[in-house]
């Protein structure tokens, strides 16, 4: 494994695979709850990190929150998705 691959692996250990981007408003909190519910539907137990730092949110290219990130890829932005939709999207990106 090259040096780049090693750094990437170390970063993954420090950071959660699933993130909610947003200020902590009601919509952001609802997306977080729905994401936790979706993970339970999929039988996955993993931490969900809530990122509120706007400079970090902007680094993902997200201009409208809330947003859902899996593995550093934005999969939902600017809306609150229901748990079943989130489960379907997560199932796709986890495969």
pLDDT in tens, 13-28: 445 799 999 998 999 9
- How many independent structural domains does the chain possess? 1
Domain with 46, as residue range(s), is 15-94
CB 48 within 8 A of CB 21: no
The Cα 71–Cα 1 span in angstroms is: 20
Higher pLDDT, 21 or 4: 21
Residue 72 placed within a domain: yes
Q: What is the CATH number of the domain that holds 47?
A: 3.40.30.10
Strands (DSSP E) contained in 1-95 are 18-21, 48-51, 67-70, 73-77
Answer yes or no: is 3 within a domain.
no
Mean pLDDT of the residues in the chain: 87
| pLDDT above 90 (res 7) | no
Query: 């993970």: which residue's tokens?
Result: 39
Which tokens is 46 given?
A: 């993993």
Q: Is the pLDDT score of 5 beyond 70?
A: no
What size, in residues, is the chain? 95
pLDDT one-digit tens code per residue, 44-63: 989 999 999 999 999 999 99
């Amino acid at each position: 494994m090259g040096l780049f691959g090693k750094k990437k692996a170390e970063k993954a250990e420090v950071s959660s695979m699933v993130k909610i981007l947003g200020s902590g408003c009601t919509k952001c909190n609802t997306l977080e709850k729905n994401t936790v519910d979706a993970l339970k539907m999929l039988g996955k137990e993993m931490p969900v990190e809530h990122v509120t730092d706007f400079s970090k949110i902007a680094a993902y290219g997200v201009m409208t929150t809330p947003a859902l990130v899996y593995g550093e890829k934005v999969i939902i932005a600017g809306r609150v998705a229901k748990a079943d939709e989130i489960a379907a999207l997560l199932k796709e990106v986890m495969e």
